[in-house]
A and B are shown apart, each in its own frame.
Chain A
């Protein structure tokens, strides 16, 4: 194409550039301000450059247990990531065939994506409250002392909290798997089967390598969506707290750049994960181009 660029191109290119500044500018501002000197405030100018606010962060801000929240979020994020990958790949395989309830499951996933998170969060909280009452009533009815002495609630990070996150990450995972399997050529599997591969071998050595980049994508969504999740978690975490919930609470109380330091740390984790996944996908694709098909290259 040697066609000359139109005026529209230049106008839209400028618009795109402005949008990118709009998108990244504010975040860059707080990355810079988190290195504010000890005398510095929430806004410019910078009064020196230091790691003061990061040190402050690790000493703890007031009574808030930031280390605990960080650890909770990391554990939950990794768990959500693994479960999302496994369940999405399994469901993606299931949807390649007809089964009773397939349409219902698909629309439930879509609904879970677009029903307001506050509603889902409230529902999960109520569900667990009622279940708690049930357990207590059960303990009373059968005089089970263990329940009287030890039971408080079923709600927690890895029960209601995990469920709330999965209801948010699974739809993304399923949609990505749909996109992959819609373009998947079954001839590869047939070839493997004809050569005597068991179903598991076919999956492990043929299907899995082909869908690997998409799996990396699902993992990326699984971890980052959980790591940043707040709307669904707010009512569903019980006594536990995650990093975004802590951060939101801090916005109303903390008036020092320590909150920016926490923002920088959180964003750094996100970017590490995004970078790692993009690197893996690029590597797989390069490798594929190098070692891939020899079709059309002659004998």
Chain B
């Protein structure tokens, strides 16, 4: 092994580097390349054409202010993103605050944090399906509403709707906010909070001027995670939307199933670019605030 050898880190990192090259870097490069290829019903052939991109945005400018399918789909997905982000951020922040500053023993903190994390290790599909007996037309909630006489016919928008997709997103992804924010908060020096209080700051002022700025790295990491998950999603929107709601990821999936690989690849490149812009914006926001 020769611990003094300079080669050691290289063979130690080699397996991971090889896997990322073969199953991440090369596939991304292949997507970019294939997005310029031609296709017909049976095969794809190398070329250098832009028609896959122009197909995606065909008529999009001309139709304005009406939205073409692509713009409408992106808008729909971005709205989900914004809603899920806001909800998971508020819930995640409150829960992380509770775990770090209100729970007193470290053991209890670990146990409660684990309780939040354990569902992450179980199947997402099952966690989605499990809403059906609650939200369905004959589900528990509708039974309750009928019994109470709130409505005389079952509420239809509970399942396979915008609402149920949103609910499932929050259900599945809040953990991605809790853990990074908790991690940032745990590093905050308690004396800073005492100082703020001694200086006459109210609870809200302390929260706004001390806690939130110091939790920013965690908030940024959590936000990046949640936003990228929602932007690329097609499974949650598919199952919880009853296959009726469009999303960017779903468009790519459908085109892949129809073997329209170059078109799907072009869509993937556009999606990737959008996600990158969102992430850059987010990191910029955090860094600029840090500078001030």
Interface residues of A (CB under 8 A from B): 1, 6, 8-9, 12-13, 15-16, 19-20, 22-27, 29-30, 33, 41-44, 83, 86-88, 90-91, 93-95, 97-99, 101-102, 105, 108-109, 111-112, 114-120, 122-127, 129-130, 160, 163-164, 166-167, 170, 174, 193, 198-200, 202, 220-221, 224-225, 227-228, 230-231, 234-235, 244, 247-248, 251-252, 259-260, 263, 266-267, 270-271, 273-274, 278
Q: Using known A-B contacts A44-B140, A163-B19, determine if residue A99 contacts B9 with beta carbons closer than 8 Å.
A: yes
* Min CB gap A223→B, angstroms: 9
Main secondary structure of the interface of A (DSSP, over half): helix
Nearest CB in chain B to that of A45: its residue: B143
* A residues near B279, Cβ cutoff 8 Å: 114
* B residues near A126, Cβ cutoff 8 Å: 27, 30-31, 34, 261, 265
* Min CB gap B57→A, angstroms: 19
Nearest CB in chain A to that of B264: its residue: A122
B23 & A90 in contact (Cβ 8 Å cutoff)? no
Nearest CB in chain B to that of A113: its residue: B225
B20 & A116 in contact (Cβ 8 Å cutoff)? no
Interface residues in B221-259 (C-beta closer than 8 Å to A): 224-225, 228-229, 231-235, 239, 243, 249, 252-253, 256
CA distance A30 to B132 in the complex (A): 9
A94 & B10 in contact (Cβ 8 Å cutoff)? yes
8 nearest CB pairs, A to B: A116-B232, A123-B27, A163-B23, A94-B12, A26-B130, A99-B9, A94-B13, A224-B121
Q: Using known A-B contacts A44-B143, A230-B124, determine if residue A105 contacts B232 with beta carbons closer than 8 Å.
A: no
A26 & B134 in contact (Cβ 8 Å cutoff)? yes
Q: Using known A-B contacts A97-B9, A112-B24, A119-B28, determine if residue A235 contacts B256 with beta carbons closer than 8 Å.
A: yes
* A residues near B261, Cβ cutoff 8 Å: 122, 126, 129
* B residues near A101, Cβ cutoff 8 Å: 13, 17
Q: Which single member of B98, B228, B252, B256 contacts A115 (CB below 8 Å)?
A: B228
B133 at the interface (CB under 8 A from A): yes
B95 & A94 in contact (Cβ 8 Å cutoff)? no
* Min CB gap A101→B, angstroms: 7
Q: Which single member of A102, A120, A259 contacts B129 (CB below 8 Å)?
A: A259
Q: Which single member of A15, A25, A90, A248 contacts B235 (CB below 8 Å)?
A: A248
Subset of 13 A-B contacts with CB under 8 Å: A22-B171, A29-B140, A43-B132, A43-B139, A90-B15, A94-B8, A116-B271, A163-B23, A167-B20, A230-B124, A248-B235, A251-B125, A270-B121
